[in-house]
């Protein structure tokens, strides 16, 4: 009589170059969209995405290819948060400069109003606690399910839903408050 012995769990499969390249091709744009909404600067967002993938590559021997997607998102969000903390001065287009540009063409009021609305939304998102901001950017710009976001942030899908709900309430409150000012 032969015994098959205890069931061995599936061993992790290290990240190989082909899998890494496929992951990059599939995730580079969605990851950029998320990071851009975190930093609001295209060049910084691209730098963070590149660095996240390079770090993933450097860790490839210790990374299970099945969890690489969540890991690269986690790396990128952490890099973006660090970059944001280091950067103290935001470079916003001044309202005066926008008015000067708008005065040169039709629809000046609409252009100024659109800029003001975008700036208000950015300020409100920036004012969210970091955990809520991470969930909101992944939900809004990552095109992922709650389960995928939960894997990235290492929280439960219920917590993702709860943080998103709370963040939306906070955003509505902040935007309504700003609209009354």
Task: Give the domain extent around 154.
Answer: 109-181
Residues 81 and 145 in one domain: no
Residue 97 lies in a domain: no
Same domain, 171 and 116: yes
Looking at the fold, whether 114 and 67 belong to one and the same domain comes out as: no
Give residues with Cβ within 8 angstroms of 54, minimum separation 6.
Answer: none
Place of tokens 């950017």: 137
Q: How many domains is the chain built from?
A: 2
Give 29-85 as a DSSP string: HHHHHHHHHHH--HHHHHHHHHHHHHHHHHTGGG-BGGGHHHHHHHHHHHHHHHHHH
One pLDDT digit (tens) per residue for the chain, 181 residues:
444 545 445 556 889 999 999 999 999 999 999 999 888 899 999 999 999 999 999 999 999 989 999 999 999 999 998 888 777 444 444 444 444 554 555 555 665 667 677 778 888 888 899 999 999 888 888 778 899 999 999 999 999 999 999 998 998 888 888 776 5
- Beta carbons of 120 and 126 less than 8 angstroms apart: no
Q: What is the DSSP letter of 87?
A: -
Same domain, 85 and 113: no
């Amino acid at each position: 009589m032969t015994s098959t012995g205890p069931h061995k769990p599936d061993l992790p499969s290290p990240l190989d170059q082909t899998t890494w390249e496929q992951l990059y091709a599939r995730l580079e744009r969605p990851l950029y969209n998320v990071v851009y909404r975190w930093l609001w600067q295209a060049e910084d967002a691209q730098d963070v995405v590149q660095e996240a993938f390079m770090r993933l590559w450097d860790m490839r021997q210790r990374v299970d290819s099945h969890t690489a997607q969540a890991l690269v998102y986690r790396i990128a969000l952490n890099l973006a948060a660090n970059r944001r903390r280091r950067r103290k001065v935001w470079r916003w287009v001044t309202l005066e400069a926008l008015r000067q540009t708008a005065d040169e063409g039709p629809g000046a009021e609409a252009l100024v109003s659109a800029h003001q609305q975008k700036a208000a939304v950015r300020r409100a998102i920036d004012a969210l606690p970091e955990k809520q901001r991470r969930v909101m950017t992944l939900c809004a710009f990552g095109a992922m399910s709650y389960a995928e976001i939960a894997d990235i942030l290492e929280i439960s899908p219920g917590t993702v839903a709860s943080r998103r709900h709370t963040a939306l309430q906070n955003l509505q409150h902040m935007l309504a408050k700003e609209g009354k000012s």
